[in-house]
Amino acid sequence: MALYFRKKLENKAEIAVWQVTETEEELLKLISVPSDELEEIMLFRSESQRRQKLAVRALLNEVFEDKMYLNHHDNGQPYLENCVTNISITHTEKYVAIIIHDEEDLGIDIESLDRDFSAVEKKALSEDEIDDLEKEKRNEQLAIYWCAKEAIFKRMSQNRVDFAEQIEVEKFNVRKEGELEATFIHKDEHEEEFELEYMIFDRHVLVWLVG
């Protein structure tokens, strides 16, 4: 078993992270998965993608006592067919993570800090956000910006969102753990404000929001 950590938040959400150390064969022995879902997973050509998908299933098996049936809406948002619990899922080559809550909408995203996030600056940040970047921790800041905007994007579950124009993240200082304030601007200019949390561990950034 490679459950990296699991914790309940004050707002009754729960986060669980799985470190993907197993081979594909080892994960298959760990999990109980419906045959149609397994068939979909095995269609991925990349072994890394298959391992990530299987690790998500291993994590679900760890968190839930009953067998869960995982499916996705047309927009890609995941849901549990046989459970009212809301879920958001994210994965990298090394870690997969979920956040669950019985009532609230959710969003979660994880990224490796070994990735170069310089392209994020051009395609996902506003001019104000670019001005707030610091030379010393630029890649970490960009990673947090990206994860925060991805988490909000998952929470909103809308198509064709302009990350630079529609999602604004307030200035922050990079810490090992922290909070973020952000605003989602709908196309009719209605605004929704969000509070997110993040943590940095093992060269990875994890950001989530509840509500």
pLDDT at 185 over 90: yes
Q: Is the dihedral of CA 60, 63, 68, 72 positive or negative?
A: negative
| Annotated domain spans of the chain | 3-103, 110-210
Same fold, 3-103 and 110-210: yes
pLDDT, mean of residues 37-49: 85
Instruction: Give exposure, 42-61, as e/b (b: 16+ Cβ within 10 Å).
Output: eeeeeeeebbbbbbbbbbbb
Q: How far apart are the first and last CA of the chain?
A: 31
Residue pointed to by tokens 């990735």: 115
Q: Quick check: helix, strand or coil at residue 84?
A: coil
- What are 208's two structure tokens? 């989530």
pLDDT at 37 over 90: no
Q: Quick check: helix, strand or coil at residue 113?
A: coil
Nearest to 6 by CA among 81, 76, 95, 94: 95
- Which CATH class name applies to 3-103? alpha beta
Chain centroid to CA 40: how far? 21
CB-hemisphere CA count at 13 Å for 90? 27
Nearest to 100 by CA among 83, 87, 84: 87
DSSP run (H or E) holding 207: strand 204-210
Pick 36 or 118 by higher pLDDT. 118
pLDDT at 35 over 90: no
- In whole angstroms, give the CA distance from residue 59 to residue 82: 17
- In whole angstroms, give the CA distance from residue 119 to residue 24: 32
- What are 26's two structure tokens? 């080892």
pLDDT in tens, 132-180: 999 889 999 999 999 999 999 999 988 889 999 999 999 999 999 999 9
Give the phi and the psi of residue 6 in degrees, each rounded to 5: -150, 130
Residue pointed to by tokens 């995203």: 109
pTM of the model: 0.91
- In whole angstroms, give the CA distance from residue 161 to residue 168: 12
CATH number assigned to the domain covering 110-210? 3.90.470.20
Banded model confidence at residue 181, pLDDT cuts 50, 70, 90: very high
